[in-house]
Amino acid sequence: NVVEPDSMEMIYAMAVEKLAQIEVPERAHFVRSIYLELARVGSHLFGLWAYANMLGFDTVAQWAMYHRDLILDLFEELTGGRVYHIYIWPGGVRRDFPPGFKDKIVNTLHSIGGCVPDYDSTFFNNRLFYERANGIGKISQEQAKQWGATGQTLRATGMKFDIRKVEPYAAYSKVDWDVPVREDGDAYSRVWVIRDEMIESVHMIFKLLDAMPEGPVYNRIPNPFKWKVPKGDAYVRCESSRGELGLYMVSNGGDKPYRAHFRTPSYPNGLIILEKLLKNASIADVGNIMISLYVVAPEIDR
């Protein structure tokens, strides 16, 4: 997933840690959560760019891409890469935050958060957005569960389901935060959930930064080039920016997985739900429905 590959890093590390019974330092849990929430904000800004661009809100699209670039600037400083970061690995993270990095996170998020009223007045509260998205691609909560929807697609039907809450990992149980939902299950509700989640992620990052303890960020593995993972299998899951991301990993006692199978949120959204919603839909609504379902094609490929 080129839009948000960081959750892939997370579940791979979680699977190896579960198989090898590796303990992750407490500070690393917080660093991971902050890193993943920054990735979520960046991913949602990319989704907002795509949706606003599709509807012809060019100014909003440019704002979203600019603010996403601010997030990528942070990733580049921390990891050396703007898109693929290779930051989370078994046992913790590759490096701690450099001096002054926490202040840069705060300043960046204040810059983005300060523009929320502009996004609201120009796009989210705009009647044209309402008229183009309200009632489009509507699904019920029962349909969402039956078709395997997770993430914004499910929460837009009113169901408060988020892996970070129901099966906490990293440091998500260490701070208070809420799961944003909407009720109508249409494109309008799905895009609003994305907006609300960005704001919630920003608030969560501030809380995580305040609560983050001192200490190491990596439980060093002796001679990783010769390290073997014990035989066994493990299933882990996390809440990626698009919904539930799962990984089933099998180890035969070697230095690489014998089997790794991913459960991606775009698979049900792009193959099952999209097909059902496009039947008898207007051609003008195809992009509207597809982008609001947050489909990323590489997650579907097998």
All domains of the chain, ordered by start, with CATH? 6-299 (1.10.645.10)
The pLDDT confidence band at residue 301, using thresholds 50, 70 and 90, is confident
3-class secondary structure, 239: strand
Q: Residue 99 pairs with which residues in a beta bridge?
A: none
Per-residue pLDDT averaged across 221-241, rounded?
Answer: 91
Measured CA to CA, the distance from residue 97 to residue 99 in angstroms comes to: 7
Q: Give pLDDT, residue 123.
A: 98
Note whether 235 and 248 are within 8 A (CB). yes
Whether the per-residue pLDDT at 222 is higher than 90: the answer is no
Element (H, E) at 87: none
Q: Residue 41: its pLDDT value, please?
A: 98
Q: How far apart are the first and last CA of the chain?
A: 13
pLDDT tens digits along 82-99: 999 999 999 999 999 999
What confidence score (pLDDT) does residue 220 get? 85
Quick: pLDDT tens for 10-24: 999 999 999 999 999
Closest CA to 291 of 185, 198, 187: 187
The residues facing 89 across adjacent strands are 92
What single-letter DSSP state applies at residue 186? S
pLDDT in tens, 281-298: 999 999 999 999 999 988
Looking at the predicted structure, is the pLDDT value of residue 302 above 70?
no
pLDDT tens profile 101-138: 999 999 999 999 999 999 999 999 999 999 999 999 99
pTM of the predicted model as reported, rounded to 2 decimal places: 0.95
Contact 63, 115 (CB under 8 A): yes
Helices (H), 114-257: 116-119, 127-133, 141-146, 151-155, 163-166, 187-211
Report the C-alpha gap between 63 and 126 in whole angstroms.
Answer: 16
Residue 175 pLDDT > 80: yes
The CA-atom distances, in angstroms, between 31 and each of 5, 36, 178, 211, 216 are 16, 9, 20, 11, 11
Q: Is the pLDDT of residue 300 over 90?
A: no
Q: What is the CA radius of gyration of the chain?
A: 19
Checking if the pLDDT of 191 tops 70, the result is yes
